[in-house]
Amino acid sequence: MQIVPIGQAARLSGVKVTTIRFYEERGLLPKATRSEGNRRHYGPDDIARLQFIRHSRNLGFGLEDITALLSLSDKPDQDCAAVDAIAKAQMAKVDRRIEQLATLRAELARMVSACTHGTVADCGVIACLADHGLCQSDHAAAPAQTVMGD
């Protein structure tokens, strides 16, 4: 397994074929060398890089952060403070989100428990959605688009 085509690289790294091509286009991977028939070749270093990316994605890092982390990992003599900063920022982001989701969960639970299992007219869930005054928490303070997404 010295040099492999994209499909095998995908299997070895756990990154899908289309995603590998996407990463190349985005500059996270160097442009792959090609065979005579115009097919991409990958070596062990490329596989390692793909695994690095995949692992970072699994930890929730964005592609921009990953680009920074990759370029830092290519310069082993540098101070690793920048690495630390990126990781800590990511942790803070995750913390914030967990907090938001916990508030959300509490409100959803309260809402669901207000369901009378009767008709929609008496439904506590609908009533709560229709009138924020019926909520106890101030979850609505968070901008909607940041609640579930990035």
The neighbouring-strand residues paired with 42 are 4
Instruction: Single out the residue of 15, 69, 62, 67 nearest to residue 42, CA to CA.
Output: 15
Please, which residue, 33 or 116, has the CB nearer to DNA? 33
| Least distance in angstroms from the C-beta of 78 to DNA | 23
Binding at 122: pick from a second copy, DNA, none (beta carbon under 5-8 Å per type): a second copy
Residues 26-45 that bind a second copy (CB under 8 A): none
Residues 79-138 that bind a second copy (CB under 8 A): 79-81, 83-84, 87-88, 90-91, 94-95, 97-98, 101-102, 104-105, 107-109, 111-112, 115-123, 125-126, 128-132, 135
The neighbouring-strand residues paired with 36 are none
CA 69 – CA 83 distance, rounded (Å): 6
| Least distance in angstroms from the C-beta of 35 to a second copy | 28
Q: What Å distances lie between residue 70 and 18, 74, 97, 116, 132, CA to CA? A: 20, 6, 25, 54, 45
CA 88 – CA 150 distance, rounded (Å): 16
Q: Are 65 and 86 in contact (CB under 8 A)?
A: yes
Interface residue list for DNA (CB under 7 A): 5-8, 10, 16-19, 21-22, 32, 34-40, 57, 62-64, 143-145, 149-150
3-state secondary structure of 51: helix
Chain positions contacting a second copy, by CB under 8 A:
14, 48, 51-52, 54-60, 69, 72-73, 75-81, 83-84, 87-88, 90-91, 94-95, 97-98, 101-102, 104-105, 107-109, 111-112, 115-123, 125-126, 128-132, 135, 139-140, 142, 144, 147-150
